[in-house]
Amino acid sequence: MNNKIRKKELYDEQARLGFPWKKRNWVYHRNLYSLIGTLVPPDRSVLEIGCGNGDLLHHLNPRRAVGIDISPLSIERAKELYPDYEFQVMDAEDLQFSEKFDVIILSDLVGELSDVWRVLDELHKVTAPHSRIIITYFNYLWAPFLKIAEKLGFKMPQDYQNWLSLTDLTNFLALTDFEVIRKGWRFLIPMRIPGLSWFINRYLAFLPGLRKLCLSQYLVARTMPRKQKSDSDKYSCSVLIPTRNEKGNVQDAVERVPQMGSHTEIIFVDGASTDGTVAEIEKMIEEWQSKKDIKLIHQIPPDQIPSSVKKSGRMLTLGKGDAVRKGFDAAQGDILMILDADLTVPPEELPKFFKLATERAGELIIGTRLVYPMEKQAMRFLNVFGNKFFSYLFTWLLDQPIKDTLCGTKVLRKSDYELIKKGRSYFGDFDPFGDFDLIFGAAKLNLKIIELPIRYRQRLYGDIKIERFKHGLILLRMCAIAFNKFKLMDNTP
């Protein structure tokens, strides 16, 4: 079932029950309303997105109040309770307003959204230079306790959450041309404990070291002049797809990679596939020759493939990194993209990367799979743990926040790639994945690295090529090299 439909039905059911969790956990909601009340100046026009039954707007008592929600029953309930305010059924991804508001509130909403980027981008329809956006959201550290609260009826039941840190939200806002001007944490004890919770929340919860343990995090942002739009039609694009026994994904990749800019070429770099992948690529080249520019490159010439390679389905010793380098060297596009052949990152997401690259919002744009919830079986537990571990490690090593080092989707300009290639000897040519060659090279050149959250899908064809323990040791070796180069400042090539 579509996520929005499922969520609408969930919200309708809560409205039908009269939002019982609000009554049971009134202390939290009262404190949340007070927090937002301190952030909203008097005599302002306020739009609340995801307004539920309108309680928050009623508490704020603004000059003009408008609330929207995707749940028709929630809006009916809000109109009954607060007939002096305006409430509409509306999707946050498609705002239908012609007026600008002084304050726009998204209270405990971003975790529910299907596409955070799109919702924030829509806010430009309702904001002016004087407008302020207020976002509150839960701290990820509280995830297990919130699950318990759901079971006990103190929190609205939810089928999934996007867990975004303040850093994630700040990055999302920056990518959509908003600037954070204030942020913080509140509510170390979000329930009433006589003689204790009031004192702790009022005084101790603000202390360094303790504040980041609070349940709620908030930020206030303002709209910025929209970035000057690049003339994207002037930029061409090369989408590199490394393959190794991916026959069942080839046609989908060709059909789903969108046309971007002045010209889009699709480059398959095949690593000695034995399941008919090459024949399928050649078939696609023939069928699509008048519609799409598709090329095929062999990592190993077909007549030179060793028999041992033909029998193995694992990653070539040459590695995906070699495929990336061969593909990028042959690419003609101004913007270079890597798309994994398993299509766990949907090709439909690529235009977002293209937009950021052409507008120079970032110089190396990395997909991150660890924000939106994943489909079941999309990533095994040990892989999730490994990704988070290396995320923290590389963030520390490079002094730049990197949430997901191993997402295969990476995008940069060819001119920047040529600079990375020129300095490759500084780290050594040992990366079998291709990811760290780009990340290390970009960091060394002080290129701006940004991450774009994407929805990670389950592989539908073929086998995972990563060998967790073997390749995990290689990653640790890479970390040692990064420590030597970035922390110890060893400039020896």
Q: Is there a single domain that holds both residue 266 and residue 203?
A: no
**What are the pLDDT digits (tens) for 327-378?**
999 999 999 999 999 888 889 999 999 988 998 888 999 988 776 665 554 4
Separation CA 434–CA 421 (nearest Å): 12
Separation CA 283–CA 280 (nearest Å): 5
In degrees rounded to 5, what are phi and psi of residue 490?
-80, 110
- At residue 373, the pLDDT reads 63
Q: Per the domain annotation, does 85 fall within a domain?
A: yes
- At residue 378, the pLDDT reads 46
Place of tokens 């926040």: 401
* Contacts with 451 (C-beta within 8 Å, 6 or more apart), sequence order: 171, 365, 366, 367, 368, 401, 402, 403, 404
Q: Please list the alpha-helical segments (H only) found in 242-380.
A: 247-256, 277-287, 307-311, 319-330, 350-358
- Parts of the chain with a pLDDT under 70: 1-2, 158-160, 227-230, 307-317, 371-387, 429-432, 459-472, 489-493
Q: Per the domain annotation, does 483 fall within a domain?
A: yes
CATH number at residue 10: 3.40.50.150
Q: Is there a single domain that holds both residue 207 and residue 247?
A: no
Q: Is there a single domain that holds both residue 192 and residue 126?
A: yes
CATH number at residue 310: 3.90.550.10
Tokens of 239: 């989408």
Give buried/exposed letters for 415-426 (b at 16+ CB in 10 A, else e).
Answer: ebbebbbeebeb
**What are the pLDDT digits (tens) for 393-408?**
877 777 777 777 778 7
Read off the amino acid at residue 223.
T
Q: Are 426 and 377 in contact, with CB atoms under 8 Å apart?
A: no
Q: Per the domain annotation, does 426 fall within a domain?
A: yes
Q: Three-state SS for 305?
A: coil
Separation CA 220–CA 134 (nearest Å): 5
Q: Which of 162, 190, 223 is the last residue of a domain?
A: 223
Place of tokens 């928050």: 56
Q: Is there a single domain that holds both residue 279 and residue 166?
A: no
Q: Is there a single domain that holds both residue 337 and residue 454?
A: yes
Q: Is there a single domain that holds both residue 174 and residue 191?
A: yes
Q: Which of 206, 223, 240 is the last residue of a domain?
A: 223
Tokens of 297: 């490159």
Separation CA 162–CA 181 (nearest Å): 23
**β-bridge partners, 222:** 132, 179
Q: Among 114, 41, 53, 359, which residue's Cα sits nearest to residue 228?
A: 359
Separation CA 272–CA 270 (nearest Å): 6
Q: Is there a single domain that holds both residue 338 and residue 216?
A: no
453: number of Cβ within 10 Å: 25
In degrees rounded to 5, what are phi and psi of residue 306?
-65, 150
- At residue 58, the pLDDT reads 93
* DSSP assigned state of 230: P
* Contacts with 381 (C-beta within 8 Å, 6 or more apart), sequence order: none
Q: Is there a single domain that holds both residue 208 and residue 262?
A: no
* DSSP assigned state of 244: S
Q: Per the domain annotation, does 492 fall within a domain?
A: no
The angle at the Cα of 361, spanning 356 to 367, to the nearest 5 degrees, equals 55
Q: Residue 377: which region, alpha, beta or left (left: phi > 0; alpha: psi -120 to 50)?
A: left
* Contacts with 338 (C-beta within 8 Å, 6 or more apart), sequence order: 240, 242, 324, 408, 409, 410, 411, 434
Separation CA 426–CA 430 (nearest Å): 11
Q: Is there a single domain that holds both residue 334 and residue 196?
A: no
Q: Is there a single domain that holds both residue 242 and residue 125?
A: no
Tokens of 227: 């970035």
* Contacts with 276 (C-beta within 8 Å, 6 or more apart), sequence order: 247
Torsion sign (Cα): 400, 403, 408, 410: negative
- At residue 400, the pLDDT reads 73
Q: Which domain holds residue 160?
A: 3-223
Q: Three-state SS for 464?
A: coil
Query: Could you tell me whether strands 335-338 and 236-243 are parallel, antiparallel, or unpaired per DSSP bridges?
Result: parallel
What string of DSSP letters covers 130-195? T-EEEEEEE-GGGHHHHHHHHHTTSS---S------HHHHHHHHHHTTEEEEEEEEE-SS-S--TT
Q: Are 27 and 192 in contact, with CB atoms under 8 Å apart?
A: yes
Q: Is there a single domain that holds both residue 450 and residue 390?
A: yes
Q: Is there a single domain that holds both residue 277 and residue 197?
A: no
Q: Per the domain annotation, does 168 fall within a domain?
A: yes
Q: Which of 173, 189, 223 is the last residue of a domain?
A: 223
Domain count, the chain: 2
Q: Per the domain annotation, does 493 fall within a domain?
A: no
Q: Per the domain annotation, does 214 fall within a domain?
A: yes
